Amino acid sequence: METSQEWETVIGLEIHTQLATKSKIFSGAATAYGAEPNTQACAVDLGLPGVLPVLNEQAVTMAVKFGLAIEAEIAPYSVFARKNYFYPDLPKGYQISQFELPIVGNGHLDIDVDGTTKRIGITRAHLEEDAGKSLHENFHGMSGIDLNRAGTPLLEIVSEPEMRSAKEAVAYMRKIHELVRYLGICDGNMQEGSFRCDANVSVRPLGQQQFGTRAEIKNINSFKFVEKAINHEVERQIELIENGGKVVQETRLYDSVKDETRSMRSKEEANDYRYFPDPDLLPVFISEEFKSQIKAQLPELPNARKQRFREQYQLDDENAGILTASRQLADYFELVVKESACEAKLCANWITGDLVAALNKADLDITESPVNTQRLAGLLLRINDNTISGKIAKQVFELMWQSSSTADEIIAEKGLKQITDSGAIETIIDKIIADNPDQVEQYLSGKDKVFAFFVGQVMKEMQGKANPAEVNKMLKAKLK
């Protein structure tokens, strides 16, 4: 349940995007994923006495790039602050973040839900360092600490509380995920923790302007779990209020196994962290010239590309949306159109249909596709020039997926070339008509559906190699 007649859901998301820099935000240590614990943590990351942080310019560039893409205010002057709290995986005893003066101010993002476009405000996006990681497995009665992740650059993107359902929240999160990957500032790998979010959820009586008390659900790392966690939390809060209880402001965790949220700790306020400007880091000044340089580097953004695909290639909304959801998939499509010189709709249908289905089944990204653009273009050319039928093409595609052969090689090897010889087709049609007098009578008496039976029999007899258009044309002539 997301909302009922009596209640309205209010949701805001804080999305933590790990920036795709080679080194950390304040040190030269590597950010590569999967290294042995504590092998990528230097003296700065460990918070050893006497070390000084140095800001990674690439992280600033990426933050500004994101801000420009959401048409946000880019602060000409921003400051890093120390967020003080104690946790075992935070060696300095504070996290370097931004508080009062973030690098990116008010912006917005448009989402589409059930055919309706809605604008979601983005309050701010600020740079900060990630903490380390506590390890609980293989430690009997203890916890291990891995500080490889400490100091990894994050851009925390904070939305306005303008989403009114879990479905809207997922659409917004997907849109941010799509955008940061388009911009090349984050790989978006949710399994590795590169992209995760905290959801602030509250409910209020329908029509009430004042917000209800919110609970924050921490560190959700999949679109499915975001939807489930929010829906569960909404039900919990409504049930609590309707039974005479009160929602308390707290931090909760989502348990995906039990499909429930549970209390983690009472929610801290900003003053609990005793924020103050970091004395070791200079303020960041962003000039108009710097902004202009970055703006010139921006790629064609998803919405603009989707609109161009509709106009340039005459694609419908669904195909244009699927193809532009990933920058790499959109690039793949445009290369196939160029290399095959086939109609764009044929290319789009094959990519969003057979290719995407095969990728999903194999759990592969488009960048890992066994069938590259040249090989798919070669297959589409053979459909286009009637060498093979669409049905045979599906068989050829499956064989291409499993090998490095081209479509032409497979067609020749398997003898799959389409039969366009009208004499050979006519011989089979005459045989099918002679063998099925009852069906001929039914068709002649007005039962048009029987026509499909004859088409099927001819195609079966010719092992699917007959040109379908030729079969239809000749059958209609013969069955008059």
DSSP for 410-438 reads HHHHHT-PPB--HHHHHHHHHHHHHH-HH
- Here the tokens at position 92 are 């300095």
Q: What is the pLDDT of residue 43?
A: 94
Alpha-helix runs per DSSP H in 243-389: 288-297, 302-313, 317-324, 327-340, 344-350, 356-362, 373-384
Residue 267 pLDDT? 62
CA dihedral (206, 212, 215, 217) in degrees, to 10, reads 40
Phi and psi (nearest 5°) for 9?
A: -90, 140
Residue 213 in this model has a pLDDT that exceeds 60: yes
Task: Give the pLDDT band (50/70/90) at residue 431.
Answer: confident
Distance between CA 367 and CA 447 in Å, rounded? 50
Contact 298/183 with Cβ under 8 angstroms? yes
pLDDT the model gives residue 392 = 86
* pLDDT tier at 456, thresholds 50, 70, 90: confident
Average pLDDT over residues 141-169: 94
Average pLDDT over residues 1-29: 88
Residue located via tokens 């300095």: 92
For residue 268, the model assigns a pLDDT of: 63
Position 221 scores a pLDDT of 86
C-alpha pair distances (Å), 44 with each of 91, 175, 256: 10, 34, 36
State the average pLDDT over residues 51-80: 97
Least confident of 15-29, 154-168, 216-230, 428-442: 428-442
Instruction: State yes or no: pLDDT of 133 exceeds 50.
Output: yes
pLDDT of 461 reads 74
Q: How far is CA 335 from CA 338, 340, 363, 396, in A?
A: 5, 8, 23, 20
* Strand ranges for 62-167 from DSSP E: 77-78, 81-84, 94-97, 107-113, 116-129, 133-135, 144-146, 153-159
The band of 422, judged by pLDDT with boundaries at 50, 70 and 90, is low
Q: 157-196, pLDDT tens digit by residue?
A: 999 999 999 999 999 999 999 999 999 999 999 988 899 9
Average pLDDT over residues 257-282: 82
Report the percentage of the chain scoring pLDDT > 70: 95
Lowest mean pLDDT segment, chosen from 184-193, 303-312, 442-451: 442-451
Total number of residues shown for the chain: 480
Residue 426: per-residue pLDDT: 72
Query: Which pTM value belongs to this model?
Result: 0.83
CA angle 213, 234, 251 (to 5 degrees): 55
Mean pLDDT (the chain) is 89
Q: Which of 113-117, 151-155, 215-219, 451-455 has the lowest mean pLDDT?
A: 451-455
Residue 455 has pLDDT above 80, yes or no: no
> What is the pLDDT at residue 3?
45
Asked if residue 1 has pLDDT above 60, the reply is: no
Residue 297 confidence (pLDDT): 92
Q: Taking residues 364-382, what's their average pLDDT?
A: 94
Write out pLDDT tens, residues 12-23. 999 999 999 999
Whole-number pLDDT of residue 316 = 93
Position 423 scores a pLDDT of 67
Q: What is the DSSP string of 454-479?
A: HHHHHHHHTTT-B-HHHHHHHHHHHT
Q: Are 211 and 242 in contact (CB under 8 A)?
A: no
> Does residue 468 register a pLDDT over 50?
yes
Asked if pLDDT for residue 4 goes beyond 70, the answer is no
What is residue 368's DSSP assignment? G
Q: What is the mean pLDDT of residues 133-153?
A: 88
Say how many CA atoms lie within 13 Å of 274 toward its Cβ: 5
pLDDT at 2 over 70: no
Name the H helices within 184-282. Answer: 223-242
